[in-house]
Structure 1
Protein backbone atom coordinates (compact mmCIF):
# COMPACT_ATOMS: atom_id res chain seq x y z
CA UNK A 1 0.00 0.00 0.00
CA UNK A 2 2.78 2.42 0.90
CA UNK A 3 5.45 1.00 -1.38
CA UNK A 4 6.40 4.43 -2.74
CA UNK A 5 6.68 6.02 0.73
CA UNK A 6 10.14 5.76 2.23
CA UNK A 7 11.29 5.86 5.83
CA UNK A 8 12.27 9.49 5.48
CA UNK A 9 8.71 10.51 4.57
CA UNK A 10 7.27 8.48 7.45
CA UNK A 11 9.67 10.15 9.89
CA UNK A 12 8.70 13.57 8.52
CA UNK A 13 4.99 12.77 9.02
CA UNK A 14 5.62 11.70 12.63
CA UNK A 15 7.56 14.91 13.37
CA UNK A 16 4.86 17.09 11.76
CA UNK A 17 2.22 15.14 13.71
CA UNK A 18 4.06 15.76 16.97
CA UNK A 19 4.35 19.48 16.26
CA UNK A 20 0.82 20.10 14.93
CA UNK A 21 -1.25 17.71 17.05
CA UNK A 22 0.91 17.55 20.12
CA UNK A 23 2.43 14.64 22.00
CA UNK A 24 -0.55 14.16 24.34
CA UNK A 25 -3.18 13.73 21.54
CA UNK A 26 -1.02 11.91 18.94
CA UNK A 27 -1.34 8.36 20.40
CA UNK A 28 -5.15 8.65 20.51
CA UNK A 29 -5.22 9.94 16.92
CA UNK A 30 -3.06 7.02 15.75
CA UNK A 31 -5.44 4.56 17.44
CA UNK A 32 -8.44 6.23 15.80
CA UNK A 33 -6.80 6.14 12.35
CA UNK A 34 -5.88 2.49 12.84
CA UNK A 35 -9.47 1.65 13.87
CA UNK A 36 -10.84 3.51 10.83
CA UNK A 37 -8.55 1.57 8.48
CA UNK A 38 -9.53 -1.71 10.12
CA UNK A 39 -13.25 -0.85 9.81
CA UNK A 40 -12.81 0.08 6.13
CA UNK A 41 -11.01 -3.21 5.40
CA UNK A 42 -13.71 -5.18 7.18
CA UNK A 43 -16.47 -3.38 5.25
CA UNK A 44 -14.72 -4.03 1.92
CA UNK A 45 -14.20 -7.71 2.74
CA UNK A 46 -17.87 -8.05 3.75
CA UNK A 47 -19.00 -6.39 0.51
CA UNK A 48 -16.81 -8.76 -1.53
CA UNK A 49 -18.20 -11.75 0.34
CA UNK A 50 -21.79 -10.59 -0.22
CA UNK A 51 -21.21 -10.03 -3.94
CA UNK A 52 -19.57 -13.43 -4.31
CA UNK A 53 -22.48 -15.12 -2.55
CA UNK A 54 -25.19 -13.26 -4.48
CA UNK A 55 -23.63 -13.04 -7.95
CA UNK A 56 -20.89 -15.67 -7.89
CA UNK A 57 -22.23 -17.73 -10.80
CA UNK A 58 -22.80 -14.65 -12.96
CA UNK A 59 -19.27 -13.45 -12.25
CA UNK A 60 -17.92 -16.87 -13.24
CA UNK A 61 -19.76 -16.64 -16.58
CA UNK A 62 -18.18 -13.25 -17.21
CA UNK A 63 -14.73 -14.38 -16.09
CA UNK A 64 -14.52 -17.21 -18.67
CA UNK A 65 -14.58 -15.00 -21.80
CA UNK A 66 -12.39 -12.40 -20.11
CA UNK A 67 -9.79 -15.04 -19.27
CA UNK A 68 -9.81 -16.20 -22.91
CA UNK A 69 -9.28 -12.63 -24.11
CA UNK A 70 -6.44 -12.22 -21.62
CA UNK A 71 -4.93 -15.48 -22.85
CA UNK A 72 -5.07 -14.31 -26.49
CA UNK A 73 -3.52 -10.96 -25.58
CA UNK A 74 -0.46 -12.76 -24.17
CA UNK A 75 0.08 -14.69 -27.43
CA UNK A 76 1.95 -13.51 -30.48
CA UNK A 77 -0.23 -12.52 -33.46
CA UNK A 78 0.67 -15.65 -35.43
CA UNK A 79 -0.05 -17.97 -32.50
CA UNK A 80 -3.34 -16.22 -31.75
CA UNK A 81 -4.48 -16.61 -35.37
CA UNK A 82 -3.58 -20.28 -35.54
CA UNK A 83 -5.29 -20.95 -32.23
CA UNK A 84 -8.47 -19.06 -33.08
CA UNK A 85 -8.88 -19.91 -36.76
CA UNK A 86 -7.00 -23.13 -37.41
CA UNK A 87 -7.26 -25.05 -34.10
CA UNK A 88 -3.51 -24.78 -33.36
CA UNK A 89 -2.57 -26.13 -36.84
CA UNK A 90 0.13 -23.70 -37.97
CA UNK A 91 1.00 -25.64 -41.14
CA UNK A 92 -1.36 -23.42 -43.13
CA UNK A 93 0.49 -20.24 -42.18
CA UNK A 94 3.91 -21.80 -42.79
CA UNK A 95 3.21 -21.59 -46.53
CA UNK A 96 3.27 -17.80 -46.19
CA UNK A 97 6.46 -17.58 -44.13
CA UNK A 98 8.75 -15.17 -46.02
CA UNK A 99 11.91 -16.74 -44.62
CA UNK A 100 10.98 -20.13 -46.03
CA UNK A 101 9.89 -18.66 -49.35
CA UNK A 102 13.18 -16.78 -49.80
CA UNK A 103 15.26 -19.82 -48.78
CA UNK A 104 13.69 -22.07 -51.42
CA UNK A 105 14.35 -21.66 -55.12
CA UNK A 106 11.51 -20.17 -57.11
CA UNK A 107 9.90 -21.75 -60.15
CA UNK A 108 10.98 -18.87 -62.35
CA UNK A 109 14.63 -19.37 -61.44
CA UNK A 110 14.48 -23.09 -62.25
CA UNK A 111 12.66 -22.41 -65.52
CA UNK A 112 15.27 -19.86 -66.61
CA UNK A 113 18.05 -22.35 -65.93
CA UNK A 114 16.30 -25.00 -68.01
CA UNK A 115 15.67 -22.65 -70.94
CA UNK A 116 19.13 -21.03 -70.92
CA UNK A 117 21.10 -21.87 -74.06
CA UNK A 118 24.10 -24.14 -73.63
CA UNK A 119 26.24 -22.03 -75.90
CA UNK A 120 25.90 -18.56 -77.32
CA UNK A 121 25.44 -19.78 -80.92
CA UNK A 122 21.66 -19.43 -80.76
CA UNK A 123 21.71 -15.97 -79.20
CA UNK A 124 20.32 -13.28 -81.47
CA UNK A 125 21.63 -9.78 -81.03
CA UNK A 126 19.26 -6.96 -80.40
CA UNK A 127 18.81 -4.67 -83.41
CA UNK A 128 20.41 -1.26 -83.13
CA UNK A 129 18.07 1.59 -82.44
CA UNK A 130 18.60 5.08 -83.64
CA UNK A 131 20.37 6.98 -80.91
CA UNK A 132 19.27 10.63 -80.66
CA UNK A 133 22.88 11.57 -79.92
CA UNK A 134 23.82 10.66 -83.47
CA UNK A 135 21.20 12.99 -84.95
CA UNK A 136 21.31 16.75 -85.41
CA UNK A 137 22.25 18.92 -82.46
CA UNK A 138 19.30 20.98 -81.20
CA UNK A 139 21.03 22.47 -78.17
CA UNK A 140 21.09 26.00 -79.53
CA UNK A 141 24.86 26.21 -79.68
CA UNK A 142 25.46 25.78 -75.93
CA UNK A 143 26.92 22.63 -74.47
CA UNK A 144 27.95 21.56 -71.00
CA UNK A 145 31.58 21.62 -71.97
CA UNK A 146 31.28 25.39 -72.48
CA UNK A 147 29.98 25.83 -68.93
CA UNK A 148 32.40 23.54 -67.13
Structure 2
Protein backbone atom coordinates (compact mmCIF):
# COMPACT_ATOMS: atom_id res chain seq x y z
CA UNK A 1 0.00 0.00 0.00
CA UNK A 2 1.42 3.36 -0.99
CA UNK A 3 0.89 6.42 1.25
CA UNK A 4 0.81 9.72 -0.53
CA UNK A 5 3.33 12.37 0.60
CA UNK A 6 0.86 15.11 -0.28
CA UNK A 7 -0.95 15.29 3.11
CA UNK A 8 2.37 15.49 4.99
CA UNK A 9 3.56 18.24 2.67
CA UNK A 10 0.32 20.18 3.16
CA UNK A 11 0.71 19.95 6.94
CA UNK A 12 4.26 21.33 6.75
CA UNK A 13 3.23 24.18 4.43
CA UNK A 14 0.24 25.07 6.62
CA UNK A 15 2.41 25.09 9.74
CA UNK A 16 4.99 27.33 8.06
CA UNK A 17 2.29 29.74 6.90
CA UNK A 18 0.64 29.82 10.32
CA UNK A 19 3.97 30.53 12.01
CA UNK A 20 4.69 33.36 9.59
CA UNK A 21 1.24 34.90 9.85
CA UNK A 22 1.86 36.41 13.28
CA UNK A 23 4.58 39.08 13.34
CA UNK A 24 7.55 38.55 15.59
CA UNK A 25 7.68 40.65 18.78
CA UNK A 26 10.44 42.81 17.29
CA UNK A 27 8.18 43.65 14.33
CA UNK A 28 5.35 44.93 16.50
CA UNK A 29 5.42 48.73 16.57
CA UNK A 30 6.26 50.33 19.89
CA UNK A 31 3.73 52.31 21.86
CA UNK A 32 3.20 56.06 21.48
CA UNK A 33 6.06 58.42 22.25
CA UNK A 34 5.58 59.90 25.71
CA UNK A 35 7.30 62.74 27.56
CA UNK A 36 7.78 63.12 31.25
CA UNK A 37 8.64 66.53 32.67
CA UNK A 38 10.60 66.66 35.91
CA UNK A 39 11.07 69.74 38.02
CA UNK A 40 13.07 70.11 41.19
CA UNK A 41 14.28 72.87 43.42
CA UNK A 42 13.05 76.35 44.11
CA UNK A 43 12.59 79.32 41.82
CA UNK A 44 15.56 81.23 40.44
CA UNK A 45 19.02 79.86 41.17
CA UNK A 46 18.05 76.35 42.27
CA UNK A 47 15.41 75.55 39.66
CA UNK A 48 16.27 72.38 37.72
CA UNK A 49 14.17 70.88 34.94
CA UNK A 50 14.37 67.76 32.81
CA UNK A 51 12.37 66.07 30.08
CA UNK A 52 12.55 62.35 29.38
CA UNK A 53 11.13 61.18 26.06
CA UNK A 54 10.35 57.47 25.90
CA UNK A 55 8.07 54.77 24.53
CA UNK A 56 6.87 51.50 25.91
CA UNK A 57 8.36 48.36 24.38
CA UNK A 58 5.47 46.22 23.18
CA UNK A 59 5.71 42.53 23.87
CA UNK A 60 8.15 43.09 26.74
CA UNK A 61 7.25 43.15 30.40
CA UNK A 62 8.17 46.33 32.26
CA UNK A 63 10.41 47.79 29.54
CA UNK A 64 10.71 51.24 27.97
CA UNK A 65 12.97 52.65 25.26
CA UNK A 66 14.55 55.94 26.31
CA UNK A 67 14.60 58.22 23.26
CA UNK A 68 16.14 61.37 24.75
CA UNK A 69 16.93 63.18 27.97
CA UNK A 70 17.10 66.96 28.28
CA UNK A 71 18.22 68.79 31.43
CA UNK A 72 18.57 72.46 32.38
CA UNK A 73 20.28 72.93 35.73
CA UNK A 74 19.91 75.74 38.20
CA UNK A 75 22.57 78.42 38.38
CA UNK A 76 24.43 76.95 41.36
CA UNK A 77 23.53 73.29 40.81
CA UNK A 78 24.54 70.26 38.83
CA UNK A 79 21.57 68.11 37.83
CA UNK A 80 21.17 64.66 36.31
CA UNK A 81 18.49 62.11 35.50
CA UNK A 82 18.66 58.50 36.69
CA UNK A 83 16.34 55.49 36.67
CA UNK A 84 15.67 53.00 39.48
CA UNK A 85 17.79 50.15 38.17
CA UNK A 86 17.14 46.94 40.15
CA UNK A 87 20.49 45.57 38.95
CA UNK A 88 22.56 48.45 40.36
CA UNK A 89 23.83 48.08 43.93
CA UNK A 90 23.02 51.77 44.54
CA UNK A 91 19.50 51.34 43.18
CA UNK A 92 19.86 54.05 40.51
CA UNK A 93 21.68 54.30 37.15
CA UNK A 94 22.26 57.57 35.31
CA UNK A 95 20.54 58.18 31.99
CA UNK A 96 23.00 60.91 31.03
CA UNK A 97 26.72 60.64 30.49
CA UNK A 98 27.38 63.75 32.61
CA UNK A 99 25.41 66.24 34.70
CA UNK A 100 24.22 69.61 33.50
CA UNK A 101 25.90 72.27 35.66
CA UNK A 102 25.64 75.96 36.49
CA UNK A 103 22.66 76.92 34.38
CA UNK A 104 23.73 75.10 31.24
CA UNK A 105 21.58 72.73 29.27
CA UNK A 106 22.27 69.16 28.25
CA UNK A 107 20.51 67.11 25.57
CA UNK A 108 21.35 63.50 24.83
CA UNK A 109 19.70 61.23 22.29
CA UNK A 110 19.31 57.62 23.32
CA UNK A 111 18.15 54.37 21.88
CA UNK A 112 18.41 52.54 25.17
CA UNK A 113 15.97 50.01 26.53
CA UNK A 114 15.69 49.91 30.29
CA UNK A 115 13.86 47.05 31.89
CA UNK A 116 13.07 45.61 35.25
CA UNK A 117 11.41 42.46 36.51
CA UNK A 118 7.62 42.35 36.64
CA UNK A 119 6.36 44.13 39.73
CA UNK A 120 9.30 46.58 39.90
CA UNK A 121 7.83 49.96 38.85
CA UNK A 122 10.15 51.83 36.48
CA UNK A 123 10.85 55.35 37.71
CA UNK A 124 13.10 58.26 36.76
CA UNK A 125 14.37 61.00 39.03
CA UNK A 126 15.86 64.43 38.61
CA UNK A 127 18.47 65.00 41.27
CA UNK A 128 20.63 68.05 41.86
CA UNK A 129 23.90 68.59 43.68
CA UNK A 130 23.92 71.94 45.43
CA UNK A 131 27.28 72.73 47.05
CA UNK A 132 28.00 69.05 47.73
CA UNK A 133 24.55 68.04 48.97
CA UNK A 134 22.30 65.95 46.73
CA UNK A 135 18.95 67.70 46.99
CA UNK A 136 15.84 68.55 45.02
CA UNK A 137 14.81 65.05 43.94
CA UNK A 138 11.73 64.73 41.77
CA UNK A 139 10.70 61.12 41.11
CA UNK A 140 8.08 60.09 38.56
CA UNK A 141 6.83 56.72 37.33
CA UNK A 142 7.37 55.84 33.66
Select the structure that is richer in helix.
1
TM normalised by structure 2 equals 0.24
Select the structure that is richer in strand.
2
TM normalised by structure 1 equals 0.23
Q: Which has the larger radius of gyration?
A: 1
